[in-house]
Amino acid sequence: MSNGTLCLPGTMKILVVEDEIKAADFLRKALASESFAVDVSHRGDTALEMALETPYDAIVLDIMLPGRDGLSVLRVLRERGNNTPVILLSARSHLTERVDGLNAGADDYLPKPFALEELTARVKALCRRSGESRSVQLRVGNLVLDTVTRMAQRGAHRIELSAREYRLLEYLMRHPGRVCTRMLLLEKVWDYDFDPGTNLVDVTVRRLRERLEFPGEEALIHTVRGQGYMMTSRA
Ligand code: CA
């Protein structure tokens, strides 16, 4: 498992689930050479946890796995509302398995053995499709904000936001790594062109932080002493 992959903005993040160590390593290298950020899991149960916690752009999922088989991983993901594109890999090219896979919510299916070029081409095609339908999403660390539904999601947690909290979060997420002064936030989020002399910004930031915080998760909104706030992730 390789966690903490350095993820540049725009880098597509892929989870490869394959119990054969050598095969998994080939897949990881092939995808990494195409500039994907790749995490690897050799077990179905671990893969399911990772996929529920991290918003991947696509998952390459073997069917025969220890811990939990690939079809079961896929079913649970879809039951939980996770729509990450999934390519199923199978040693057997039985029609029934292919049909089972597509019924369980797979986006593509590749029988083994396959050429690595074939797999990378299909992963790229899936990411392109999902990128188009998901271009409305902002992301900082494992926090994802959907600008259409106005829902935030952190790992497996869905977060409800008030209209003002949403505007504040959207502004901060559109300017990651930049210090946003209180005055700037008053202007952009509250449409004030004057300082009302209250702690309005601080109070709303505090409420937003409480909503985004879960045990074991890093803080994403940082206080820059004497200046304002900054949204950034170590991940
Ligand atoms: Ca296998």
Of 157, 166, 199, which is closest to residue 54 (Cα–Cα)?
157
- What is the mean pLDDT of the segment spanning 180-191? 90
Fold of 137-231: Arc Repressor Mutant, subunit A (1.10.10)
Residue pointed to by tokens 């045990």: 215
**Is pLDDT larger for residue 141 or for residue 8?**
141
| Res. 214: pLDDT tops 50 | yes
State the distance from the centre of ligand 1 to the C-alpha of 12, rounded, in angstroms: 24
Query: Residue 127 pLDDT > 70, yes or no?
Result: yes
Q: Which residue, among 73, 59, 76, 62, has the nearest Cα to 122 in the 3D structure?
A: 59
- Measure 48 CA to ligand 1 centroid, in angstroms: 15
56-81 residue pLDDT tens: 989 999 999 999 999 999 999 988 87
Task: Compute the distance from residue 77 Cα to the ligand 1 centre, in Å.
Answer: 19
Fold category of 2-133 in CATH: Rossmann fold (3.40.50)
Spatial separation of the C-alpha atoms in residues 146 and 157, rounded to whole Å: 14
To the nearest 10°, report the CA torsion of 43, 48, 53, 57. 90
- pLDDT for 159: 94
For ligand 1, the distance from its centroid to the CA atom of residue 19, given in whole angstroms, is: 5
How many other C-beta atoms are found inside a 10 Å radius of the C-beta of residue 125?
A: 15
- Mean predicted confidence (pLDDT) in 188-208: 88
Q: Is residue 10's pLDDT more than 60?
A: no
- Where exactly does CATH 3.40.50.2300 map onto the chain? 2-133
Distance, CA 140 to ligand 1 centroid (Å)? Answer: 33
Question: Do 217 and 142 touch, CB atoms closer than 8 A?
Answer: yes
Over range 170-178, report the average pLDDT.
89
